[in-house]
Structure 1
Amino acid sequence: MSSAANILTAPMLPCPQFAPKLPSQQPQRSSSPQRKPTLSQGRALETLGHAIEYLVDSRLYETWDSPADAEAVHTLMACSRAVFADCEEVMGWQHRLQRTLMRRLHSAPSPTR
């Protein structure tokens, strides 16, 4: 039997730390502006993504014996979120128009009689 066949027939072990959440468990997201990373931010996000993928894939068929394994993945994910949050926001014309209208409505003087 080939090594590929061994991998395909190997039992999948659960990894509760990274199990997908059910739709009822996921928070509702508002339509937030997209972000445009710089070249260095893009490389950092790519490198962090590869590191997370490597750690998760290397433990795919093993049990997560040490909490340090999961902590390392969570630390890398937090770093990735921090880099992404620092990226410049790019707003579409609809979002810019909505923001402008909301500002004007809130700053408009109230009618006096």
Structure 2
Amino acid sequence: MTVEVLLGEVTCPSGQLVVMDGGYLELWSGHRAPDDEERPATDFAIVGADAEAAAESFDRQTGARLYDIPAHAVAEFTATFDKHCREHEHDAHLREFEQQVPHREWVRHAVASSRL
């Protein structure tokens, strides 16, 4: 026999609900940079006339934004993207965000960009 227990209720006026792994909650609040002296990762937007096609064919993350590229890998990642664009003749490049994009903005952008 199954017993249902009401633990609480959630309201979501925006219609956008994100469930986070509790282990991530102390890593970064989105209101300030992580506690490291240097940014541990960089977020990019793919921009240019062929941004959407470049994003789709590059196939690393969904959409024309690339999040959480580790600091130690940024130069190689950027070079790989640039080479990909040259090989596929895409007019696109990576534009680095000035600061890491808060996760709530990831969700807002994903919802706005969805083709549902």
Higher helix share: 1
Higher strand share: 2
TM-score, normalised on structure 1?
Answer: 0.30
Q: Highest Rg: 1 or 2?
A: 1
TM-score, normalised on structure 2?
Answer: 0.29
